Amino acid sequence: MTKTKELNSKATHLLQRNEGIPFNTAFFDHININKSAVERRAATLPNRRTVKKEWQAAWLLKAISCMDLTTLAGDDTRGNVTRLCAKARSPVRLDLLEAMGMADVNLHTGAVCVYHNLIPFAKEALEGSGIPIAAVSTGFPAGKISFEEKIREIELSVAAGATEIDIVISRDLVLESKWKALYDEVAACRKACGAAHMKTILATGEIPTYTKVAKASWVSMMAGSDFIKTSTGKESVNATLPVSLVMIRAIRAYYELTGFKVGFKPAGGIQKAKQALDWLILMKEELGDEWLNPELFRFGASSLLGDIERQLEHFVTGRYSAGYRHPMA
């Protein structure tokens, strides 16, 4: 299997950050998304583009390098986080990597994502690995805390060692089209993040139209978001290909306007290797190869890694293994 230099992220972010632009409704007032066209385009992807054999294995390894390996359960403990970090450092069994000629590439996930109180345990477990620590913040998942509490929570997570912050927006501001208030909120969160990269979660399952998703994407990017993210994973509807298409095209238009590359993170409900391939194909077709790296694309996932590892074992051995043969995340 051909090795690629881009497989893993570096210990530090290399891309120019999105500095944001002044609020101006002229950039998004005209947006009116054609729901049927978006869903028709998204529906073509799983059937029109497929990758097989060694190419599929290579794409799945790429998916691992773009994964925010996540635990956001109410019963999380230090042991859970330590195990998660061990899996992030060594996401695929060594014998499988050796069989694919990939044992020396230092494959690891794009980041580990945890609650604020678990950051110290993740920091200890990831020491020396270069793997970023992402922390959910601002009253995740509902965001129903005061503005002052949101800012303080961000500052505390950064001080504890988080290098990426996943914030949630106040959904009522989107529902009521209070775009300037949303801009001000996200911009203040960006300032509080300091050097930590900020991913802005739109919670698209709670936004009623694609048009509002597109406008919320624009406002979040204008306010300085380094990534825009579909979901918390706690909504009844999480990442879907149609809503991802809307957000990705907003990213493309923002880049064409400003020259800033904003990342994209689908999260929630992506559990199978085939789904990961669908999103990678969507990114490649809509934004190109330069977005297919952990600096600009992440999966929010917990159970996805297990299925990818099973698919890689099938590629190597021709047989599907039981889940217990692979170390748990």
* Percentage of the residues of the chain whose pLDDT score is greater than 70: 95
Q: What is the pLDDT of residues 127-181, one digit of tens each?
A: 999 999 999 999 999 999 999 999 999 999 999 999 999 999 999 999 999 999 9
Q: How confident is the model at residue 329 (pLDDT cuts 50, 70, 90)?
A: low
Task: Decide: residue 5, CB within 10 A, 0-12 exposed, 13-18 middle, 19+ buried.
Answer: exposed
Closest to 133 in 3D by CA, of 155, 106, 152, 115? 115
**Structure-token match 């989107």, residue found:** 174
Catalytic residue flag (residue 191): no
The pLDDT of residue 320 is 83
The pLDDT of residue 10 is 40
Half-sphere exposure of residue 51, counting CA atoms within 13 Å on the CB side?
19
> Which of 62, 123, 229, 261 does the annotation list as catalytic?
229
Mean pLDDT of all residues in the chain? Answer: 93
Catalytic residue flag (residue 62): no
> Which of 166, 226, 278, 307 does the annotation list as catalytic?
166
| Predicted confidence (pLDDT) at residue 13 exceeds the cutoff of 70 | no
Q: What is the pLDDT of residues 220-278, one digit of tens each?
A: 999 999 999 999 999 999 999 999 999 999 999 999 999 999 999 999 999 999 999 99
The pLDDT of residue 154 is 98
The pLDDT of residue 134 is 98
Q: What is the pLDDT of residues 191-217, one digit of tens each?
A: 999 999 999 999 999 999 999 999 999
The pLDDT of residue 15 is 80
Whether the bond into 141 is cis, omega within 30 of 0: yes
pLDDT average, residue stretch 283-309: 95
pLDDT average, residue stretch 116-121: 98
Task: Identify the H or E element spanning 114.
Answer: strand 111-114
Closest to 304 in 3D by CA, of 95, 118, 87? 87
The pLDDT of residue 71 is 95
Task: Decide: residue 32, CB within 10 A, 0-12 exposed, 13-18 middle, 19+ buried.
Answer: exposed
Structural domains in the chain? Answer: 25-319 (3.20.20.70)
The pLDDT of residue 324 is 73
Q: Would you say the pTM of this structure is higher than 0.75?
A: yes
Catalytic residue flag (residue 166): yes
Closest to 135 in 3D by CA, of 110, 112, 169, 151? 112
Give the SS3 label for residue 277.
helix
> Which of 212, 215, 261, 265 does the annotation list as catalytic?
265
